[in-house]
Amino acid sequence: MAETEAIAALFKAGDCVRVREAYPIGHVRTPYYIRGKSGVIERLCGAYPNPEELAYARPGLPRQPLYRVRFRQTDVWQGYRGKGDDTVDIEIYQHWLQAQ
């Protein structure tokens, strides 16, 4: 059942990606602060039912590939107070990512 229905992964570790800049209502697991920002795929975590659908008691299938994406803090926050190579790693589902 759920195990077989997964969307193919489009990205691999090291790929540059950009988070889609979109602002729907509803249950979204892509934080506001990271939309429109660019980062690098750290790893593919697997494929999981889409939480945007699970939130409404629907099955969330086919499963969405989920990645850990690494962003440089200085690319995320204006005037970041830290080191230039500090990072933030965030789990982001594939449908929120586009190739950079």
Partner 1 sequence: MNTFRGVHDMGGLPAGEVVASEHDFALWEKRVDALMVLLSRKNLLTVDELRRNIESLGADAYDKMSYYERWIYAITQTLIQRGVVSIDELGRRIAEVQARDDGGN
Partner 2 sequence: MSEHHHHDESVPHRHPLRADQDDTLTYWRAMEIAVRELLIDKEITTADEVRREVEAMDNRTPAHGGRVIARAWSDPDFRKLLLEDGNAACEAMGLERGLYKLVAVENTDKVHNVVVCTLCSCYPRFLLGLPPDWYKSRNYRSRVISDPRAVLGEFGTVVGDDAVVRVHDSTADMRYLVVPKRPSGTEGFSESKLAELVTRDAMIGVSFARQP
Binding-site ranges for partner 1 (CB under 8 A): 23-28, 31-34, 51-52, 54-57, 76-77
Rounded Cα–Cα distance for residues 18 and 30 (Å): 12
Pick from 89, 94, 95, 100 the residue near partner 2 by CB under 8 A.
89
Instruction: Report how far apart, in Å, the C-alpha atoms of 9 and of each of 14, 39, 46, 60, 64 are.
Output: 14, 17, 9, 16, 8
Stretches 9-17, 18-26, 41-49: which one binds partner 2 (CB under 8 A)? Answer: 41-49
Pick from 44, 61, 76, 98 the residue near partner 2 by CB under 8 A.
76
Distance linking the first and last C-alpha atoms of the chain: 33
Whether residue 74 contacts residue 44, with contact meaning beta carbons closer than 8 Å, is answered with no
Task: Give the one entry of partner 2, partner 1, none that residue 100 binds, where binding means its C-beta sits below a cut-off of 5 to 8 angstroms depending on kind.
Answer: none
Closest distance between partner 2 and the C-beta of residue 31, in Å?
Answer: 5
Stretches 4-12, 14-22, 66-74: which one binds partner 2 (CB under 8 A)? Answer: 66-74
